[in-house]
Amino acid sequence: MSSYIQNPFNHLAFDNKHHLVLGRNKMKLARPHLSHALIIGSAIGLAACGGGGGGGGGSTTTTTPTPLVLSGNATNGAALAGVTVDAKCTAGSGSATTDANGHYRISIDGGALPCVLRTPNGSSALHSVAEAGGNQSLTANLTPLSEALVANLAGAAPANLYANFDSAAQGRITAGNISSARANLIAALAGVTDINALDPLKDDLSSAPAATDTALGKLATALTDARLSQADLDATLATAGSITAPIKTVLQAASATCSGLRSGSYWLFVPFVSAGGTQRITIDAKNLSVRYADANIDTLVDQGGCQFSTPDNDQIYVAASGVTLLRYAAGSGKTGIALIIPEQTLPVSAVAGTWNEIGFGRDTSSAPFEGWSAQSTLDSAGNFTSNLDCGSGLGVTCTDDILPTQLKVNNDGGFDTTYQGSTTRIFAFRTASGSTMLVGTSPDGSNLSVLSKVSSLTLPTVGAVTRYWNMSVNSTGYQGSFISETTTITANNAAANTYTRSHASDGHEETLTINQPKDGMRYRPAAIATNSGGGTVNVSAAVLMRVGDTGFTVARNVTSGQNFFAMSIDRP
């Protein structure tokens, strides 16, 4: 019987009519035998003559409503000539074809604001809006900047806003909301191009296009370097709201072979070892190098499949989100494991909510490392309103614990809190789709914990395949195991909230229960499994937690004496 203290992870695939009413004076006619046509003719004639002789007659004036006029330019850095611009408004719709300079003008009789506009841009489209409360003649440019602004304004893909232009969608298009979306876009693109002086919707691009063309050129270059499409940018902006840090992250230049590895500043957590701690590092993804806090620089060698190595043979594994794991030589034949996340500045309000926590550490240098679980709730001001200690066992039953102090911004990055007299630093990272993870660490790195928002899990689909790297730390704080694994879901049981998965490495199967011990967690009971060769595999009990859509999962032991802490990264 082989001993298999294994911590693989299953990453849940867990995406007017205007009616002109003519007034009629009812007249008692002396000759009722006259034809209907003559009667109408007489009435019209009297009205036209004004009645005369002071008989009280009056004139009728017909007023033609002012049409709604939308105009502007369609450009992606080069004028979009000869394309159709369609407008859909609260009342009325219309279309026009752009001229050689990309200019269009749409006149809509009986049109009423707000409106959303669309024009083709190659295989995609560009969108714009005209807000309610404006006059009857408005400018609405269609550019990649207007497209991005509309995504943030709508909180959805601009194409969805156009396709589903109902009262809720119309209600979003106000001057105030547009101003907020514009401010968000300015902040999001600050590292790419300065658009403070630009109004993406209303600037006169016929007479003064240069500044916008320059900004569009810089944005196009940034998207290319970041290996992003306009649709990718739109999706991130739609999710971001006013929290623009994730957009700044994904707009960083990416490695030519691994879009998860992006240039920029990162936090490196080196836990559990005597020289551990936290430091800021800088990665150059285009030129494949990493610069450490001591100014030393390592060249990265692309090993393929989002795995990189350094000259010292340190191994780096990168998830699509940018969360990264590092295996490094720790001396005396030992291997250490470190965690890396992109540096972001998030407001404390962004971490409000209830969080599951899995951690690993020790209280004294002579004690073994052990795992634990906890659950805490933060309000929008960073105050802990609850803190539950779920212990080192399964953790179904938790007890009230001392509340940490209010989160305070650390000027060097992240937040600080104090728990039982000890300082803990907390760092936040949010993905492009809005999943947030927290990393907590003691200043000396003796403790490390990962927090994920509480969210109920659903069972994975039978046949779903997950590929990942999994590495665990044992009670000494050094690597206990490492594996590159692939698992396939072979069965699920909705009544029991369980699923079974098989491992490509040796064919053994194991069963896990979702939302156990807490919503958002999974429990794998201890078992003896059979591998493809007929041998047996000891499967250790574990609590697992996938952190949103970061591609990162953590786990810890449940059984006393089998102390381990495992981290896993999705691989391509």
- What stretch of H or E contains 245? helix 245-250
Residue with tokens 């200043």: 443
Rounded distance between C-alpha atoms, residue 71 and residue 139, angstroms = 5
- Residue 148 CB-half CA count within 13 A: 29
What would the pLDDT profile of 313-348 be if each residue is shown by its tens digit?
999 999 999 999 999 999 999 999 999 999 999 999
Q: In this structure, which amino acid lies at residue 131?
A: E
Distance from the Cα of residue 336 to its chain's centroid: 31
Q: In this structure, which amino acid lies at residue 329?
A: A
Of residues 147, 125, 143, 140, the one with CA closest to residue 78: 143
**Residue 1 or 570, more confident:** 570
Cα 211–Cα 214–Cα 217 angle in degrees, nearest 5: 150
Which CA distances in Å does 301 have to 54, 311, 338, 546?
A: 100, 8, 18, 29
Between CA 546 and CA 458 the distance in angstroms is 12
Beta strands in 332-409 (DSSP E): 334-342, 353-361, 370-378, 384-389, 399-400, 408-409
In contact, 161 and 116? CB cutoff 8 Å: yes
Is residue 525 within 8 Å of 541, Cβ to Cβ?
yes
In this structure, the number of other CB atoms found within 10 A of the CB of residue 396 comes to: 12
Q: Residue 404 in contact with residue 418, Cβ under 8 Å?
A: yes
Residue burial 129-154, b: 16+ Cβ < 10 Å; e: rest: bbbbebeeebbbbbbbbbbbbbbbbb
pLDDT of residue 46: 30
User: What confidence score (pLDDT) does residue 141 get?
Assistant: 98
- Distances 543 to 337, 464, 540, 571 between C-alpha atoms, Å: 20, 21, 10, 22
- pLDDT value for 391: 96
Of the chain, the percentage scoring pLDDT greater than 70 comes to 89
H/E stretch holding 519 reads none
Q: What is the pTM of this model?
A: 0.87
pLDDT at 61: 59
Percentage of the chain exceeding pLDDT 90: 85
CB atoms under 10 Å from CB of 406, counted, come to 16
The amino acid present at 444, given as its one-letter code, is D
Phi, psi of 210 (to 5 degrees): -60, -50
Residues in the chain, total: 572
DSSP 209-230: -HHHHHHHHHHHHHHHHTT--H
Contact at 8 Å (CB) between 492 and 462? Answer: yes
CA distance 273 to 278: 12
- Residue 54: is its pLDDT beyond 60? no
pLDDT in tens, 92-145: 999 999 999 999 999 999 999 999 999 999 999 999 999 988 788 999 999 999
User: For 9-18, 66-75, 249-258, 517-526, which range has the lowest pLDDT when averaged over its residues?
Assistant: 9-18
Cα gap 251→540, rounded to integer Å: 41
Instruction: Decide: helix, strand or coil at residue 539.
Output: strand
Please say if the pLDDT value at position 293 is more than 70.
yes
**pLDDT, tens digit (0-9, with 9 covering 90-100), for 360-398:** 999 888 899 999 999 999 999 999 999 999 999 999 999
Directed axis angle between helix 210-225 and helix 230-240, to 10°? Answer: 100
pLDDT at 552 over 70: yes
Helix 144-154 × helix 210-225 angle, to 10°: 70
In this prediction, residue 133 carries a pLDDT of 83
